[in-house]
Amino acid sequence: MEARRHGVERETLVIDAKLEILRSQQQQLAALLASVTSQCDGLLQRRRFLHASLIPLNFLPNELLCAIFNLVMDTSPPPPLDALVDIVPMRLSQISSRFRSIALAMPNLWRRLVIHTSDTHDNGPRRITNAYMSRLGHIHKHPVDAFYYNNSAAKLDTEPSRLLILIRLPPVSSLTIDAAPSAILDLASHISLGLITGLRALSSLTLSMRGASIAGLSDLGRRIGYHRTRAAPPVAQDLLLHLTRLELKDVPLSIIPATPLPRLQEVTIEFTCIFDTVRTGSNEQIPATYTSNHELARFFRCAPNIKRLAFLDAGPFFVKPLNPDLNAEEFWADPAAWRADPAEVPAVPLNELRELEYTSTHGPAFFHFLSFFPSPALEELRLGIIDAHRSNAHPPRGPRRLVRDNMLPENMDDVLSSITLPSLRTVRAEATTGDDWKHVFNRILVPALETLVIENTNFSQPEKCNHQSTGACLACTTPFASLMRVENIFRDPRLVTLRRLELAGVDVEPEVAENWIGYVPALKELVCDYTQGALHIMNALAPRGALVPCPGLQRIELWGCNDFFIGNTLKLTVDTRLKASGRPGAATMINGRKVKMLKRVERAGGAKPIGKIESIKVGACKMVSEADAKALEEMGVEVDWTAPDSDDMVL
């Protein structure tokens, strides 16, 4: 046993000695491997460097790279308005760390900043945007084309990240904020306090409030009202000098401070809850989302060069009377007029206004608007007239009142007073009853009107009416609105310059058709869209002896007029005009002899040339067949015929 123990110990010592030798060799080999690996890495890095040196872009200095990127960005088109991803800086940051540093240091690359809720946290999907915002500070020389801020999460309302974004906002040319009411309020307060320096290069501003409600709008208006008080600090006068486009959706106009807006040309104000009403402290029912006329006057005074104005269910509520004797220059020169609640206001002319879209209004409100804000250069007008019917048992479709009593002086509120729009060329009036058109235009003169579109909106969308009970709303029970005589709609019925007349969803009686055709002698285009009584209009165009109504008529379009058919009257109208268009003039030479037109014919023609009807378009008219269309083509008229569909409305 003792001998065996000595043998094991001796063998163990031999093994330990061999292990020590092997460990020493292993360490030497590991050191050799590390040295070889380091040499390989060095050689590979040198090889990559030599290979990269063949590409000039990789060894150019950063200053030259920045100049190249600036040149490319200046010549490349801007990103589309619906692009919500910063493509250029994101792709540069993915190439290399060097390009990422360049992207973060070059403001020119950030033509569009898209900030979502997740981007304000460390775990955001686009950390490059967050990193760029954190580096901005207050120094930013180059403007950004567009900044889009989307705050869809309520949890962000209590976090300081939103305020940091507003304070660090770079100089942007386009700003879009779609956020909760608290974010809109923060924007208003920061603008009033002058904390957002990036707005000085702003040319387009779009504000949209999510989850708009009556309570939210009321609270927002009350909070913003502080900035109109005397205690509020003055607003910088050079804050929005470059603003050209303004769009507000469910955001009160009072969010825009009283600062000069000399370049503002396009304004759109929209509310989605215009049909709601509230009661004031004096128990007066007014639109819940209204803009008072004196607030609008302040805004127009700041922006005198507006060319396009759109009130989409957001027209003003006239609560302050007009005093034309007030000197506008002296009134607005007083700083108190910009903050206090004035007892009366002067007129603010909109001399540059060319296009006006005004929905959810009625006759008195529109007349008040033109009285408070004269628009002599207005060329295009689109009106959405609310239902004039009022019922005590059921709520009206829209606010009951848009104008308080006695808002105009006696000399302007007289029934004989009128307003002239000398430059108005196009009018599109959408209403539900004929009385609505009457109350809008019966005090307005349009001597240069060329295009008139009268449309009944209840006909195309009857399901939107909520007054299905008997007697609740006349427009609900009759799909067509009765077209009234011209003199019952316009103050001056002589529409001698009208070139295009379009009727949609209206009912035309025979005598009314004769009346309209008689007042539009210069008519060239006639469109009847789902018009009941289109046949009466065609009959009114028939010649009467030597008298040819509308001698310059060239195109007729009929769509969905199921009471119309191509009869002898229309064929006679086409044939008479075709022959008259080839008739010789008042004096011409035939076979060397001078021939004069008969005096009776010359007087009847009114010295106006009679042209032929060049084209007739007929579609979805159940009483017009393809054979009828071909018969007209044989008379030399270009006919575009569309067969009626089985789903078309049966009158």
pLDDT confidence tier of residue 94, bands split at 50, 70 and 90: confident
389-398 b/e (C-beta count within 10 Å ≥ 16 → b): beeeeebbbb
More reliable by pLDDT, 219 or 609 = 609
Question: pLDDT digit string (tens) for 386-444?
Answer: 865 543 434 444 444 567 555 677 666 665 688 999 999 999 999 877 777 878 888 89
**Strand pairing partners for 149?**
115, 177
Identity of the highest mean pLDDT range in 66-75, 169-178, 349-358, 576-585: 349-358
Whether 155 has a pLDDT exceeding 50, the answer reads no
Tell me the mean pLDDT in the region 611-638.
90
- The answer to which of 28-42, 104-118, 260-274, 616-630 has the lowest mean pLDDT is 104-118
Contact predicate 204/174, CB 8 Å: yes
Q: What pLDDT does 478 receive? A: 53
CA distance 113 to 131: 12
Question: pLDDT digit string (tens) for 492-538?
Answer: 999 999 999 999 999 999 999 999 999 999 999 999 999 999 999 99
The CA–CA distances, whole Å, from 225 to 207, 252, 289, 625 equal: 18, 10, 15, 64
Question: pLDDT digit string (tens) for 294-336?
Answer: 889 989 999 999 999 999 988 888 888 888 888 888 888 776 6
Q: What pLDDT does 399 receive? A: 43
244 conformational bin, left if phi > 0, alpha if psi -120 to 50, beta if neither = alpha
Question: pLDDT digit string (tens) for 335-392?
Answer: 666 666 788 889 999 999 999 999 888 888 898 899 999 999 999 999 998 865 543 4
More reliable by pLDDT, 474 or 596 = 596
Question: pLDDT digit string (tens) for 457-481?
Answer: 876 544 434 444 333 344 444 567 8
Query: Which stretches of 511-598 are assigned E, i.e. beta strand?
Result: 525-529, 555-559, 587-590, 593-596
Is residue 358 within a helix (H) or strand (E), and if so which, with residue range? strand 355-361
Under CATH, what is the fold of the domain 449-460+476-580+610-650? 3.80.10
CA distance 439 to 436: 5
Among residues 554, 470, 539, 477, which one has the least CA distance to residue 508?
A: 539
Residues contacting residue 412 through CB under 8 Å, at least 6 positions apart = 322, 324, 371
Q: What pLDDT does 115 receive? A: 66
Taking the model in full, what pTM does it have?
0.76
Whether 159 has a pLDDT exceeding 90, the answer reads no
**Count of C-beta atoms within a 10 Å radius of residue 324:** 12
Average pLDDT, rounded, for the chain: 78
**Count of C-beta atoms within a 10 Å radius of residue 513:** 20
Q: What pLDDT does 506 receive? A: 92
pLDDT confidence tier of residue 83, bands split at 50, 70 and 90: low
Helix axes 127-136, 87-95, angle to 10 degrees: 100
- The answer to which of 40-54, 103-117, 321-335, 368-382 has the lowest mean pLDDT is 103-117
Among residues 322, 324, 258, 319, which one has the least CA distance to residue 291?
A: 319
pLDDT confidence tier of residue 154, bands split at 50, 70 and 90: very low
Structure token pair of residue 24? 């020493």
Helix (H, G, I), strand (E, B) or coil at 209: strand
Question: pLDDT digit string (tens) for 239-297?
Answer: 889 999 999 998 888 888 888 999 999 999 998 765 445 555 555 455 545 578 888 99
Residues carrying CATH 3.80.10.10, the chain = 449-460+476-580+610-650
Tell me the residue type at 271.
F
Whether 113 has a pLDDT exceeding 60, the answer reads yes
Among residues 472, 460, 318, 507, which one has the least CA distance to residue 389?
A: 472
CA distance 561 to 575: 22
pLDDT confidence tier of residue 111, bands split at 50, 70 and 90: confident
Exposed/middle/buried for residue 6 (C-beta within 10 Å: 0-12, 13-18, 19+): exposed
How large a percentage of the chain has pLDDT more than 70?
Answer: 71
